[in-house]
Structure 1
Amino acid sequence: MLQEHLFIVATIILFTSVIQSIAGFGFSLLAVPLMVLFVDLHQAVIVATLLGTVSNFGQAWQLRHHQHRSIAFRFIAASCLGAPIGLVLFRFANQSVLKALLGIAVLFGVWMLARGRDLQQAHVSLDWTMGWLSGVLLMATSTNGPPIVFTLQARRLTPDVQRATLNLIFSVTSIFSIFVFGLSGKIHSEEVRSALFVTPVMLIGVYAGVALRKHINAVVFKRMVLVLLTLGGISSLASSLVG
C-alpha cells in the first residue's frame, strides 16, 4: 500500500520539510495526518520517524549555538519515561480515538497560546509534565511536537532558540523511538525503502526552508506557529473521522 502511494507521500514530505525547516517543528504533526489519508497509520508513523530523524539531526547541528540545553534535557528525559506508554497505545489502542484526542489537545493549546499565556517563570515541573506527554505521543502517533512547542512558546523563547532546542530534542527522541520500534519488530523493509527513496525530496525541502526562514521575524514566527498547530489539530481530527 505504501509503495502504491509513494509519489503522494513524497509530495507531502517535501511540503512538510519546508515547514519544519522554517518553524523548527511541524514535520510529523502535518505529515502523519496527511499520509494516513493514503496509507496505514503505522506505516505513516514509521516513515515520518525515520525521515524526521535525518532532518532533525542536520538542523540541530546547524543551530547548535542557540540551543537551550537545560530545557532540552528535561524534555528528553521525560519523553523517555512516557515512551513505553505510547508504545502500548501504538500497538493496542484505537487509532481514531488517539488522533481525535491529539487534535483536541492541540487546539486547546492553540487557544491558550493565542490568549498570550506567559509561563516564563513556571516551575520546571511544567517541562517534565509536557515532556512525558510528548513521549507518549512520540510512540503512539509520531506527533510529539505540540506539548514541547506549547511550552517553549509560553516560556517566550526567541525563534532561533526555539528552533534549535526543538531540533535537539527531536534528534534524541527520534533515535530513541527508532530503537524501541526496532526492538518491538515494528519497522519493516517496505517502510525503510520508502524512507530512503523520499530522503532526497526531504533534503530539498529542508534547504528551501533554510533559505526562507531568515526573512521571518519573531511576530510572523509566532503567527506561523499558531497556524501550524491549528492545521495540525484540525488534520488530526479529520483523519480520526476517516479512520
Structure 2
Amino acid sequence: MDSVLLIVIILVASILQTSTGFGFSILATPFLLLLFAPNEAIQINLLLSLVISILLYTKIKKDVEFQTLKRLIIGSIAGLPLGMLLFLLLDVEKLKLWVSIVLFILTLLLIAKLRVKQNKNRDIFVGTLSGLFTTSMGMPGPPLLLYFASVNTNKEKLRGTTLAFYLFIYSISLIIQLLFAGTTSKMWIASGLTLPFVFIGLFLGQLLFRKMNQQVFQKLVYALLLFTAIYLLL
C-alpha cells in the first residue's frame, strides 16, 4: 500500500513540476513526510526534482530570464547554509507553523491583487528565502511562486527560470543534506522505484503545459500555495 501511495505522489508531483516549474516539492514533500523520516523525504524530493530539471533544461532554456536567475542564485548561497542550520537546530514543527501562517496571509494578499515591482534586491532576497526553504524543508518553490506571481510573470518565464534555478539549488542542497544529515538505503531504493514514473510525469506534464492558458495557470498557482499553507498549518 505504501509503495502504491508513493508512486501516485511522485507521478502527480512530476506532472505538476513539468507543467508549472514548481509543483514537485509543494505537493510531494508533505505526503512524503507521512511515509519517511524528514531527512529521507527531503532527499527523495531533492533528488527526483533535480532529475526533472536536468531532463527539461533543453526544452525550457529559451524561456529562462538569466539576469533574474543570476540574482536568485546569489541570494540562495546565503540561504542554503542557514536553512541547514535551522533544520539541525530548530523544532521543525514550529518552523512549519510559522511558515504556514506567513504563506497563508501572503497568498490571500496575492489573490486580493497585491502586486510588487521586481528589482535586483528583491530577486536576491527571494533567492535567499528559497535557499533557506530548500535545506530546511525541501521546498524552494513557495518564495519563488509568491514573488513571480506578485510581479505578474508569464507562465513560460516562470517555469523556465524556476526550473533553471532548481538545477543549482537542488544540486547544492542535496550535497549539503547528504553531508550533514546523512542518508539511508531506504531513500535510494524509493527514488529508484519511482524514477520510471517521473518519466511518465514528464511526458504528461509537457502535454498539460501546452494546453494551459495564463488564467488557468494563475489559478493553479493560488491553489498550490493555499494547499501548502493549510497543510503545513494542520
Same fold, TM exceeding 0.5? Answer: yes
Tell me if the contact between 1:34 and 1:235 (Cα under 8 Å) persists in the aligned partners.
Answer: no
For structure 2, which runs of at least 5 residues remain unmatched after alignment? none
Distance 1:134 1:105 in 2: 14
Partner of residue 220, structure 1: 216
| Cα distance, 1:107–1:60 mapped onto 2, change above 3 Å | farther
Q: Tell me which amino acid in the other structure corresponds to 2:135.
A: M
Tell me if the contact between 1:57 and 1:171 (Cα under 8 Å) persists in the aligned partners.
Answer: yes
The 5 A counterparts of 1:97-108 are 97-108=94-105
Partner of residue 23, structure 2: 26
Tell me if the contact between 2:39 and 2:181 (Cα under 8 Å) persists in the aligned partners.
Answer: no
Distance 2:56 2:70 in 1: 17
* 2:50 is equivalent to residue 50 of structure 1: no
Distance 1:53 1:196 in 2: 14
* 2:184 is equivalent to residue 151 of structure 1: no
1:185 deviates by 4.9
Partner of residue 231, structure 1: 227
Tell me if the contact between 1:59 and 1:164 (Cα under 8 Å) persists in the aligned partners.
Answer: no
What secondary structure, in the 3-state scheme, does the structure 1 residue paired with 2:35 have? Answer: coil
* 2:10 is equivalent to residue 13 of structure 1: yes
What secondary structure, in the 3-state scheme, does the structure 1 residue paired with 2:77 have? Answer: helix
Per-residue Cα deviation, 1:204-242 (whole angstroms, up to 9, x for no partner):
11211111111111111111100111111112222xxxx
The 5 A counterparts of 1:56-135 are 56-120=53-117, 122-135=118-131
1:153 deviates by 1.5
1:108 deviates by 2.1
Tell me if the contact between 2:73 and 2:169 (Cα under 8 Å) persists in the aligned partners.
Answer: yes
Q: Tell me which amino acid in the other structure corresponds to 1:82.
A: G
1:34 deviates by 1.3
Per-residue Cα deviation, 1:145-177 (whole angstroms, up to 9, x for no partner):
111111111222211111000100111100011
Partner of residue 199, structure 1: 195
Distance 1:22 1:102 in 2: 25
Distance 1:60 1:119 in 2: 28
1:28 deviates by 0.8
Tell me if the contact between 1:10 and 1:201 (Cα under 8 Å) persists in the aligned partners.
Answer: yes
Tell me if the contact between 1:81 and 1:135 (Cα under 8 Å) persists in the aligned partners.
Answer: yes
Aligned length: 234
Bigger proportion of residues as helix: 2
Q: TM-score, normalised by structure 1?
A: 0.91
Distance 1:105 1:134 in 2: 14
For structure 1, which runs of at least 5 residues remain unmatched after alignment? 239-243
Partner of residue 137, structure 2: 141
Tell me if the contact between 1:148 and 1:166 (Cα under 8 Å) persists in the aligned partners.
Answer: yes
Partner of residue 178, structure 2: 182
Distance 2:112 2:2 in 1: 40
| Cα distance, 1:186–1:105 mapped onto 2, change above 3 Å | farther
Partner of residue 241, structure 1: none
Per-residue Cα deviation, 1:91-118 (whole angstroms, up to 9, x for no partner):
2221111222222222122112112223
Distance 2:69 2:102 in 1: 22
Given the alignment, which residue of 162, 165, 168 partners 1:169? 165
Tell me if the contact between 1:25 and 1:145 (Cα under 8 Å) persists in the aligned partners.
Answer: yes
Distance 2:131 2:96 in 1: 15
